[in-house]
Structure 1
């Protein structure tokens, strides 16, 4: 529902009642800002993962999400839980950043894993791979890497998903969305088919305003969820040497980028 006076868009109180295209728009907006932030962090050999591509895909994150929604009939909970998986992986892999080189592969791996783990019906890997623009072999590798990165902890409470939803609405870059009947976080019951034991709760961390470098969401279960990782903590908290595979991948990435730069220069 859109307000005729202010031009703002009213969204339902519960994320389950929101249109999935609106959820995709909210998530896409947040991820684009996250990518813009993390793209400023210098890429190091030890930070390379299976999710890194040699160049940023030309399709925007929002269009990528819309493509997934259109061709896979992904459920709303699977879109939102991608944010929870970001939290988990950033907590377990401090050097990992969701950037323009990793975001798209992370998303398709997340949708594949969550749909299989949480939904009664889901697509084949060949379809997920086709929609995601990668090979089936590559998706299979990403799926295994993803599950290992989150320690196979696929579940989370509905309450957490609702808090992600509320925060996405509150922090949208245009400020055009608001939740029906409330401008503040909504307390909801944790009864849900998507449950997680307390021992699998996200690791606690301090809370800050979303406009800062570290974008966080306060959860009503008295926990905190980190969406953006702080680049200032990367060199301080984690010190390890890159593996041989990472060094080789980093060299190949640099060579690919140098070739692309040379080709562009030649075209000029």
Structure 2
């Protein structure tokens, strides 16, 4: 049965927002997991193995224990596109998604909200050490060149696109048939190509709103020694306590 959602993303129930975002990320991961992993494509966000928690449950856990705002959840999609544009070989996969999410929530909450949690809490909720989260946070900020801001119009566009492309088609936005999904203003901080359009449900792009065909493809870059060593480590059986794996916590924080 179709579920009606308000036109304004700020008025959407937070669990519905989580369902929409998780659906998009799961489809991105399913597509990107088919892309061969190259040494030069390894980043700080790569885990040794895929975490044993779904993206949906992971997002719900973050919402439950950090009281994250909907704008911070939605801006994660914008950050994915920005980092994919700056790091052409980066893909959101089952090895990178969870660590990317907790780093994004940590950064966006500090940059966009009046109140936010400590890194120790974000780390505990995210299933990684505080030291590792600190490293991810620095890497995240440097990669996006500290450009945390995103216009409300662009967030609205992401939201409408999430509803329109949901895999089950169970959601629809009130009045969306007669309303624009939001345009990118000329004075915004957004670096997306205005000519790009949201993907259709059948599309399988590496990114969400950016046209992936417009992204640079620097595949000739040679891997660093560190990347080659990390890639070799990924080929070995995982240790009992992998340093880069997202752990889950059963106890309440």
TM-score norm. by structure 1 comes to 0.82
Unaligned 5+ residue runs, structure 1?
A: 1-6, 218-224, 260-268
1:202 aligns with 2:186: no
Q: 1:181 to 1:101 in 2, by over 3 A?
A: same
Q: Per-residue CA shift, 1:148-204, capped at 9, x if unaligned?
A: 1111000010000001010100000000000113336535598xxxx9953x32231
1:156 aligns with 2:145: no
Matches within 5 A, 1:111-122: 111-122=105-116
Give the aligned partner of residue 222 of structure 1. none
Aligned pair 1:253/2:242, yes or no?
no
Alpha carbons of structure 1 residues 185 and 51: separation in structure 2 relative to 1, 3 Å: farther
Structure whose alpha-carbon radius of gyration is higher: 1
Q: Where do 5+ consecutive residues of structure 2 fail to align?
A: 241-253
My pick for the range that moved more, 202-211 or 75-84, is 202-211
Aligned length: 238
Match of 1:35 among 29, 33, 40: 29
Deviates more, 1:110-119 or 1:203-212: 203-212
Looking at structure 1, the residues matched to 19 and 178 of structure 2 have their Cα atoms a distance apart, in angstroms, of: 20
Cα RMSD for the two superposed structures: 2.5
Q: Does structure 2 conserve the Cα–Cα contact (< 8 Å) formed by 1:35 and 1:98?
A: yes
| Matching residue of 2:210 | 226
Is residue 166–residue 186 contact of structure 1 (8 Å, CA) maintained in 2?
no
**CA separation of 1:165/1:143 partners in 2, compared to 1, >3 Å: closer, same or farther?**
same
Which structure has more relative contact order (CA 8 Å, sep 6+)? It is 2
The alignment partner of 2:172 has SS state of strand
Contact 1:163 1:185 in 2 (8 A): no
Equivalent-residue separation in structure 2 for 1:59 and 1:196 (angstroms): 40
User: For residues 33-72 of structure 1, what are the structure 2 equivalents within 5 Å?
Assistant: 33-72=27-66
What pairs with 1:1-268 in structure 2 (closer than 5 Å)?
7-183=1-177, 186=180, 198=188, 200-204=189-193, 206-207=196-197, 208-214=199-205, 225-226=209-210, 229=212, 236-256=217-237
Q: Deviations over 1:127-168 (max 9, x none)?
A: 000000000000000000000111100001000000101010
- With structure 2 as the length reference, what TM-score do the two structures score? 0.87
